[in-house]
Amino acid sequence: MDLNDERFWAFVRDQFPLSRDRAYFNTGGLGASPYPVIEAVKATMDELEQICEVGRTEQLWAGIKGDAGTLLGCDAGELAFVRNTTEGINIVAYGLPWKEGDEVILTTHEHVGNALPWVALAQSQGIVLRLFEASTASAEENLDRIRKLTGKRTRLISIPHVVTTTGLLLPVREVSAFARSRGIWSFIDGAQTAGMMPFNLHEIGCDAYATSGHKWLLGPKETGLLYVRKDMIPTITPRFVGGHSGTVDWPKGTMTLVSTAERYEYGTVSTPLRVGLGAAIRFIQRIGIETVWARDRALADHLAGELRKIPGVRVLSPENPSLRSAMTTFEHERIPQLKLQEYLNTLNLRTRNVTEGGLAALRISTHIYNTFEEVQRVVDGVRSAQS
């Protein structure tokens, strides 16, 4: 397929009910679902409501997780369905065996979803948070900053794969290898990666990884996946358990958890949403995750290049192509970001305000439903903004 064939991308765009009046650039917040996903959710709901059944079968779960595992590079049994990345992070945070004084390394630019669970643990269990500011210049520098923060009490490194503020890609493979060499756990917040870029969890080598179905994967809202490496499953104890986590043995009152990551699932859940997530994964796979990544990046690179030419604009996302993702963040030295965002809103351009890490910037996510024409509208909009 020719990546530059705009007819193909116009065809892809036609698969989405997403309004054409407003150019949508907040996939990092929430992804728009295509018709096949919406139809899968509706059809499953229609079918199940006729018979009033939950519709969960082992075969169905295994099929969806199998497809997810193929995309993410892990075994189906290492995946649990969760509601969102945040739930996955909480499962890991509350499942690891902590001792007071254990240290956790984070960046200063965490999304609240990878900040609050650790802050809460610091308050309730006395763990200590050690923060480093991620460099947008060099992967080696980031590894170095993590190494320098590591000491005898370091128990976990919990970092984003793609930093929510600047779209910076962190060297998660090297960090996981370093953590392992020191006997430290590694957890990766992958909210911004699945469906945006190709990666392989077994190759990354982290202990656990959480991602969202409702961002770049374009799945139904309130879907996510938690990966726990097979040999880490016994170490991360599920705090919430129930139907599907395992079995209970009466009258002894003991429990046997299932051996897979399904132990982190419990109770009745929405089958239509999970079927929709499966449809989303297949939709992305039909285009090809490598193709998606190349397209998303081409749009982002073009945008960053054009924004850099505008006087007063500073692009905060990395310049180094190997550190960039499909999120481009910028600030305007004369126009406060909320004012600029409001102005861009009047031009029907949906951006995301970035305040994490003390930034005052705007973030543009570029995904497969965006076009170069829309990107140009952002560039023109920023250029025409008045202070």
Ligand X SMILES: Cc1ncc(COP(=O)(O)O)c(C=O)c1O
Question: How many residues interact with ligand X (rule CB under 6 A)?
Answer: 15
In the region spanning residues 200 to 219, those forming contacts with ligand X, defined by CB under 6 A, are 212
Query: How large is the angle between the packed helices 139-149 and 172-181, nearest 10 degrees?
Result: 30
Whole-number minimum distance, CB 363 to ligand X, in Å?
Answer: 10
Closer to ligand X by Cβ: residue 85 or 260: 85
In the region spanning residues 6 to 35, those forming contacts with ligand X, defined by CB under 6 A, are 28-29
Closer to ligand X by Cβ: residue 12 or 261: 261
Which of 31, 34, 69, 113 binds ligand X (CB under 6 A)? It is 113
Closer to ligand X by Cβ: residue 77 or 117: 117
Whole-number minimum distance, CB 302 to ligand X, in Å?
Answer: 23
If one asks whether residue 164 binds ligand X (CB under 6 A), the answer comes out as: yes
Handedness of CA 185, 322, 324, 201 (dihedral sign): negative
If one asks whether residue 86 binds ligand X (CB under 6 A), the answer comes out as: yes
**What b/e sequence results for 338-360 when a residue is b if at least 16 CB atoms lie within 10 Å of its CB, and e otherwise?**
eebbebbeeeebbbbebebbebe
- The mark string for 39-78 relative to ligand X (x by CB under 6 A, - otherwise) is ----------------------------------------
Whole-number minimum distance, CB 213 to ligand X, in Å?
Answer: 8
Q: Which residues are within 8 A (CB) of 137 and not within 5 positions of it... i.e. 6 or more apart? A: 318, 320, 323
The structure tokens listed for 78 are 């290492």
Closer to ligand X by Cβ: residue 77 or 160: 160
Q: How far apart are CA 241 and CA 94, in angstroms?
A: 13
If one asks whether residue 245 binds ligand X (CB under 6 A), the answer comes out as: no
CA dihedral 10, 16, 351, 365 (to 10 degrees): -70
Q: How far apart are CA 308 and CA 192, in angstroms?
A: 24
Whole-number minimum distance, CB 192 to ligand X, in Å?
Answer: 5
Q: 3-class DSSP state for residue 13?
A: helix
- The reply to whether omega before 251 is within 30° of 0 (cis) is yes
If one asks whether residue 166 binds ligand X (CB under 6 A), the answer comes out as: no
Q: How far apart are CA 237 and CA 217, in angstroms?
A: 28
Which of 111, 295, 324, 367 binds ligand X (CB under 6 A)? It is 111
Binding site for ligand X (CB under 6 A): 28-29, 84-86, 111, 113-114, 160, 164, 189, 191-192, 212, 224
